[in-house]
Chains A and B, each alone.
Chain A
């Protein structure tokens, strides 16, 4: 059996995936070569075979069972192989059948703790003949795509004080970039880039500026040392400008802002970093001095658009804080923004995009009811931008919470949260897929969901939007109107991002639902 697999693999895996293939992703729409398919973070497929007219005929073609629950993977598809990951694991699957070609495991240390999140992994990156996987215990590992054997592994951080990695790395040019989790453990966040050949660190950008660095004066006390600013969701890349765009997480302690007066840069911000050096080009802070855990933990979405008669290169972000933002991606200037979900904490945004905070909305000893809840109006699961429709599609969580402020004593490797939330009753909360005019955030349509979602969105040139529900429905909507056209009960909650690709020239769609990855085709 094994020999047969290896033989099969040899024939399928003759190709490599150089940078030129990824940066020109539209030349091979049947592949899925980076986390969001293209570097722009769009999660849009140019494939057109599956349409509103025939989507109702979608059927399961094969399924793959993981050995752990709650899978959040967004696979990579290249040259007849699908690459999937889980916590400290990866596998290569034959694209025609779903049969495993190889698997890789790295033991999770017995004393490893996931402080504030699940033991998950959101996907691999591919470049050349290597697959890159970030592990919970903070190793970046390069695997040979033909065998799954390790080429190198590099320790990114020490997991013991609370650092971890759950994200898909972003491989670009000759580097692979990663961010880290740990925003509830008093870490000091960073984005790193590593040399793809040697695994040596090329640069590190600390999201909390140290003494003497610009932005440090936004921390009035020593709190910066445990200031958080995790970077746990994959960024986007503008190849022409050689700039990486990365979202930065919440300040610590999360719900008690007393020990950290100031705006707390660059927490809850988007940063633009030089791809060669990691030097910061600009930043935009969505939520200054956040006290609700509203990380900017989102894939930045890059596109070009004509706004008020001017051609602009922009980056858009539907933020956890319930506002949608359009920024000039060359300089970070605020262009447009408005709320896209119920929120009760700000009157609006001023001309510079800074929120006009309503007094009394901070967490308190007795509890403060605020929309959205700590998970935000949306969070790590990906939005989608369709160049075909000009719409920005986002899965929205309509739920508030009663926020508490609590003590926060820093001790390495323990919760450093300073509070928490009490959720609303399940029947008082709901969700939606919303289509926003990408240049303004104005609502075009919405499709209501029974409960707040944990699934990302995929849009296609065929005119469809795919997403999933917490109750296990995988479904397709008309991208123009939001009308539901097809749904499938996957038997497990969906908390992953959909992708689309070709098998033998035929368009397929894949989604992970709890323990199972499904591949659908006509």
Chain B
């Protein structure tokens, strides 16, 4: 899916305008308006992350300084983030000013015992589907830097209600083959004529669509069960604290 987006950008509209003159002064209030209409779909209404990373933090991986931040906003990051090429320089500066404003707000306090949360992670079998720093299984999303990409509230909700926000590239598919057997798994890839599915054991299956009796896209379904009833409140808080502390390599 990602590269479709990237292609669409290349074919339709890409600005590659270098910054040749001083950037206009940004207005954070205008920036917030633009952010909420054009950035919030991925970064969350308050910038705390969604499909895209949490921006409520002082350091952003792709934007070490304000010029880099403006460039990311206007040109995007290929292939995962489309550029807001249609914004004027003043609007870009304003969005950048707003992003810096929410990034310098006091950090969300993280309650709970992260060390105990790591024990919960191990004892509950999370590693059977998730990978952290090279350990575990890669069926579900990698969590090595999940604390940098998602807010505490988002992480907590993902554990108790995984289907509230199923990440991109984790669409559940169910097909019925010509012989009548049912195959369920995550969509690895799809085009007009074929679909590739990965099951929970990590096995890939590839089907010609014309050979299938049925093809169902289970939008909003997650292979992950809710842990609402299998964790105590303390375990949930500690597990969330552990995940919130995962910041990747840096």
A118 at the interface (CB under 8 A from B): yes
Complex Cα spacing A70 to B88, Å: 27
Q: Most chain-A CB neighbours within 10 Å: which of B5, B14, B171, B193?
A: B193
Is the beta-carbon distance between B86 and A414 smaller than 8 angstroms? no
A401 CB, min distance to chain B CBs, angstroms: 11
In the complex, per-residue mask of A451-484: 1 if CB is within 8 Å of any chain B CB, else 0: 1101000000000000001111101000000001
Chain A contacts for B8, CB-based, 8 A: 375, 423, 452, 454, 470
Complex Cα spacing A426 to B3, Å: 11
- Interface residue from A70, A420, A469 paired with B86 (Cβ < 8 Å): A420
A117-B12, A475-B193 are known contacts. Are A404 and B85 too (CB-CB below 8 A)? no
Is the beta-carbon distance between B4 and A419 smaller than 8 angstroms? no
Complex Cα spacing A451 to B63, Å: 32
Is the beta-carbon distance between B193 and A484 smaller than 8 angstroms? yes
A397 CB, min distance to chain B CBs, angstroms: 10
Complex Cα spacing A452 to B5, Å: 11
A422-B38, A426-B1 are known contacts. Are A415 and B15 too (CB-CB below 8 A)? yes
A117-B12, A414-B17, A493-B3 are known contacts. Are A406 and B193 too (CB-CB below 8 A)? no
Chain A contacts for B4, CB-based, 8 A: 426, 451, 470-471, 493
B219 at the interface (CB under 8 A from A): yes
Is the beta-carbon distance between B91 and A406 smaller than 8 angstroms? yes
Is the beta-carbon distance between B192 and A473 smaller than 8 angstroms? yes
Interface 9-mer from A14-22, A108-116, A311-319: A108-116
B84 at the interface (CB under 8 A from A): yes
A114 CB, min distance to chain B CBs, angstroms: 7
Is the beta-carbon distance between B192 and A471 smaller than 8 angstroms? yes
Complex Cα spacing A487 to B194, Å: 10
Residue of B nearest to A366 (CB): B37
A171 CB, min distance to chain B CBs, angstroms: 26
Chain A contacts for B111, CB-based, 8 A: none
A48 at the interface (CB under 8 A from B): no
Chain B contacts for A487, CB-based, 8 A: 192-193
Is the beta-carbon distance between B13 and A184 smaller than 8 angstroms? yes
Chain A contacts for B7, CB-based, 8 A: 70, 454, 470, 493, 495
Complex Cα spacing A417 to B82, Å: 17
Chain B contacts for A422, CB-based, 8 A: 37-38, 41
Is the beta-carbon distance between B217 and A427 smaller than 8 angstroms? yes
A409 at the interface (CB under 8 A from B): yes
B108 at the interface (CB under 8 A from A): no
A472 CB, min distance to chain B CBs, angstroms: 7
A255 at the interface (CB under 8 A from B): yes
Q: Most chain-A CB neighbours within 10 Å: which of B86, B87, B190?
A: B86
In the complex, per-residue mask of B63-102: 1 if CB is within 8 Å of any chain A CB, else 0: 0000000000000000000101111111100000000000
Is the beta-carbon distance between B14 and A118 smaller than 8 angstroms? yes
Residue of B nearest to A451 (CB): B4
Complex Cα spacing A374 to B89, Å: 22
Is the beta-carbon distance between A450 and B191 smaller than 8 angstroms? yes
A444 at the interface (CB under 8 A from B): no
Chain B contacts for A69, CB-based, 8 A: 10
Is the beta-carbon distance between B11 and A406 smaller than 8 angstroms? no
Query: Which residues in chain A, 372-420, are within 8 Å of chain B measured between CB atoms?
Result: 374-375, 404, 406-409, 414-415, 417, 419-420
A184-B13, A419-B86 are known contacts. Are A367 and B192 too (CB-CB below 8 A)? no
Is the beta-carbon distance between B191 and A454 smaller than 8 angstroms? no
Is the beta-carbon distance between A475 and B85 smaller than 8 angstroms? no
B210 at the interface (CB under 8 A from A): yes
- Interface residue from B13, B88, B194 paired with A409 (Cβ < 8 Å): B88
A469 CB, min distance to chain B CBs, angstroms: 5
B230 at the interface (CB under 8 A from A): no
Chain A contacts for B10, CB-based, 8 A: 69-70, 118
B233 at the interface (CB under 8 A from A): no
Complex Cα spacing A329 to B151, Å: 61
- Interface residue from B17, B37, B210 paired with A404 (Cβ < 8 Å): B37
B16 at the interface (CB under 8 A from A): yes
Complex Cα spacing A106 to B138, Å: 47
Query: Which residues in chain B, 28-58, are within 8 Å of chain A measured between CB atoms?
Result: 33, 37-38, 41
Complex Cα spacing A367 to B38, Å: 9
Chain A contacts for B14, CB-based, 8 A: 114, 117-118
Complex Cα spacing A407 to B24, Å: 14
Is the beta-carbon distance between A415 and B37 smaller than 8 angstroms? no
Complex Cα spacing A417 to B10, Å: 17
A367-B37, A471-B191, A489-B191 are known contacts. Are A427 and B219 too (CB-CB below 8 A)? yes
A32 CB, min distance to chain B CBs, angstroms: 23
Q: Most chain-B CB neighbours within 10 Å: which of A118, A365, A408?
A: A118
Chain B contacts for A421, CB-based, 8 A: 86
Is the beta-carbon distance between B217 and A415 smaller than 8 angstroms? no
A449 at the interface (CB under 8 A from B): yes
Chain B contacts for A113, CB-based, 8 A: 15-17
A258 CB, min distance to chain B CBs, angstroms: 15
Is the beta-carbon distance between A375 and B88 smaller than 8 angstroms? no
Complex Cα spacing A381 to B88, Å: 29
A70-B10, A470-B7 are known contacts. Are A404 and B192 too (CB-CB below 8 A)? no
Is the beta-carbon distance between B191 and A408 smaller than 8 angstroms? no
Complex Cα spacing A255 to B13, Å: 14
B215 CB, min distance to chain A CBs, angstroms: 11
Complex Cα spacing A287 to B72, Å: 34
Complex Cα spacing A407 to B90, Å: 9
Chain A contacts for B33, CB-based, 8 A: 365
A52 CB, min distance to chain B CBs, angstroms: 16
A467 CB, min distance to chain B CBs, angstroms: 10
Chain B contacts for A407, CB-based, 8 A: 88, 90-91
Q: Most chain-A CB neighbours within 10 Å: which of B7, B84, B91, B193?
A: B7
Residue of B nearest to A255 (CB): B86
Complex Cα spacing A470 to B16, Å: 23
B35 CB, min distance to chain A CBs, angstroms: 12
Chain B contacts for A117, CB-based, 8 A: 12-14
Is the beta-carbon distance between A408 and B15 smaller than 8 angstroms? no
Complex Cα spacing A375 to B9, Å: 11
In the complex, per-residue mask of A142-161: 1 if CB is within 8 Å of any chain B CB, else 0: 00000000000000000000
Residue of A nearest to B9 (CB): A118
B6 CB, min distance to chain A CBs, angstroms: 9
Query: Which residues in chain B, 188-205, are within 8 Å of chain A measured between CB atoms?
Result: 190-194
Chain B contacts for A409, CB-based, 8 A: 88
Query: Which residues in chain B, 130-182, are within 8 Å of chain A measured between CB atoms?
Result: 171
Chain A contacts for B82, CB-based, 8 A: 423
Chain B contacts for A473, CB-based, 8 A: 191-193
Complex Cα spacing A426 to B51, Å: 13
Complex Cα spacing A426 to B79, Å: 14
Q: A113-B15, A375-B12, A475-B192 are in contact. List 5 more A-B contacts (CB 8 A).
A: A365-B37, A404-B86, A420-B38, A469-B192, A493-B4
User: 4 tightest A-B contacts by CB?
Assistant: A420-B86, A471-B191, A450-B192, A493-B7
